Amino acid sequence: MKELSKSEVKREALIKATISLVINNGFHATSMSKIAKTAGISPGTIYLYYENKQDLINKVYLHVKENFTTYVFKGYHESVPVEKGFKIIWHQIADFRLKFVEEALFLSHCDNTPIIDEESRKEGIKHIQPLLALWEKGQELGIIKKACPYILYAYTVYPMAFLTNAQQRDEYHLTEENRALAYQMSWDSIKINTNK
């Protein structure tokens, strides 16, 4: 196990506190004092590591996005067949969302509200590049519908956010069965129907 220094522990607590408070109350309703108190540090300490509140949210966003990307492309390589590759990535996204619920909600929140600077949002989008490349390959091979990445994303990755959000609110439970069904629907929506 990697040993974390005391300040690294506090740093992690700060990030966790930011994520948790922002998803539950929204960015502007979350005060720096509340973040500090939740993290067990002083408000002033935050300003040793982050320029201001906006800088804090931008950096936390990119940090979480990086963790996300590392997780979902783990073990994936361009060489695997398109359908298999898609299945691996899709399921790892689902795993991430279920394992790191708050982090996942935080990413949805940032991607769907104007709290993140445009620059940081664009930076975050670049991270899913391997998935875009996979789709392109699939399209060249006639396996995947010739839709632009936005449409493909809207029907495969985006719906998961909705389901996890609902689960978070206890309105719905994402069982193994539901998960398999959701994957099938993702795939059905983007694959080319070979039989009439």
Partner DNA sequence: AGTAAATAAATGAACGTTCATTCATTTATT
Partner DNA sequence: AATAAATGAATGAACGTTCATTTATTTACT
Exposure of 134 in the CB half-sphere (CA atoms within 13 A): 24
The residue (of 26 and 149) whose beta carbon lies closer to DNA is 26
Q: What is the dihedral of CA 150, 153, 154, 157, to 10 degrees?
A: -160
* Nearest distance in Å: CB 119, a second copy: 13
Residues in the chain: 196
What is the C-alpha to C-alpha distance for residues 86 and 117, in angstroms, rounded to an integer? 30
Select from a second copy, DNA, none the partner in contact with residue 23, using the beta carbon and a kind-dependent cut-off of 5 to 8 Å: a second copy
Select from DNA, a second copy, none the partner in contact with residue 181, using the beta carbon and a kind-dependent cut-off of 5 to 8 Å: a second copy
Q: Which residue has the tokens 């990697």?
A: 2
The residue (of 38 and 54) whose beta carbon lies closer to DNA is 54
- Identify the bridge partners of residue 144 per DSSP, sorted by sequence position: 191
Interface pattern 123-162 for a second copy (x via CB under 8 A): ----------------------x-xx-xx-xxx--xxx-x
CA-angle at 66, arms to 100 and 37, nearest 5°: 60
Note whether 181 binds a second copy by CB under 8 A.
yes
What is the C-alpha to C-alpha distance for residues 102 and 137, in angstroms, rounded to an integer? 33
Q: List contacts with DNA (CB under 7 A).
A: 6-7, 10, 28, 30-34, 41-45, 47-48, 52-54
Identified binder of a second copy from the candidate list 52, 113, 140, 141, rule CB under 8 A: 113
Query: Using an 8 Å Cβ cutoff, are 144 and 194 in contact?
Result: no
Binding site for a second copy (CB under 8 A): 23-29, 108-109, 112-115, 145, 147-148, 150-151, 153-155, 158-160, 162-163, 165-166, 171-172, 178, 181-182, 185-186, 188-190, 193, 195-196
